[in-house]
């Protein structure tokens, strides 16, 4: 009985090595994504709750500064079933903000609507705030367009509420 020994061409060896490296990178990326998903499931709801509490506190402080001024009687609705909330500033200069958490996608969808006084349709603006993991098992919130990291729920509250309270988009 004879055995045949096949010589593997060098290009096949290089290709196989490249594929093994790609597999290793993909496995590591999958592990990172799984760790982030777990972190968002554990900490995401807490961050949303902290943001909601900061917004309620900040709106209350703003209303106290303008007691008796119906144009600045800003309302917060914390009843949406998805864990989000909405904020509404009355006319004139009516503005609404709806914050909807999507923990499966690790994001907060923040939708602004600015009602124009000149009869034009409302100006809509949307900001996505991503949950970000810097590898230290600490979940942070990051503006998806600018990359700005928010150190706390207080910082994100300020970022979201300034356009609502002033009636002016960013």
Distance CA 91, CA 72 (A): 9
Domain with 144 in it: 10-166
pLDDT of residue 66: 93
- Number of structural domains the chain divides into: 1
Asked if the bond preceding 13 is cis, omega within 30° of 0, the reply is no
Is 113 part of a structural domain of the chain?
A: yes
Is 43 part of a structural domain of the chain?
A: yes
Is 4 part of a structural domain of the chain?
A: no
Q: Tell me: the pLDDT tens digits for 128-146? A: 999 887 667 778 889 988 9
Q: Are 91 and 114 contacting, i.e. CB atoms less than 8 angstroms apart?
A: no
Distance CA 107, CA 150 (A): 13
Stretch (H or E) spanning 59: helix 10-65
Q: Tell me: the pLDDT tens digits for 64-100? A: 999 999 989 999 998 766 789 999 999 888 999 999 9
């Amino acid at each position: 009985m004879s055995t045949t020994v096949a010589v593997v061409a060098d290009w096949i060896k290089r290709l196989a090595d490249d594929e093994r490296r790609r597999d290793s990178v993909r496995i590591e990326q999958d592990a990172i994504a799984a760790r982030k998903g777990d972190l968002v499931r554990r900490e995401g709801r807490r961050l949303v709750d902290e943001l909601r509490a900061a917004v309620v506190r900040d709106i209350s402080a703003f209303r106290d500064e303008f007691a008796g001024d119906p144009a600045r009687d800003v309302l917060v609705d914390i009843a949406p079933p998805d864990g989000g909330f909405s904020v509404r500033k009355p006319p004139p200069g009516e503005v609404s903000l709806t914050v909807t958490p999507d923990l499966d996608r690790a994001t907060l969808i923040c939708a602004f609507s600015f009602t124009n006084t000149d009869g034009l349709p409302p100006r809509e603006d949307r900001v996505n705030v991503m949950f970000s993991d810097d590898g230290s098992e600490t979940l942070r919130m990051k503006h998806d367009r600018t990359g700005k990291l928010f150190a706390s729920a207080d910082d994100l509250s300020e970022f979201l509420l300034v356009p609502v309270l002033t009636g002016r988009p960013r």
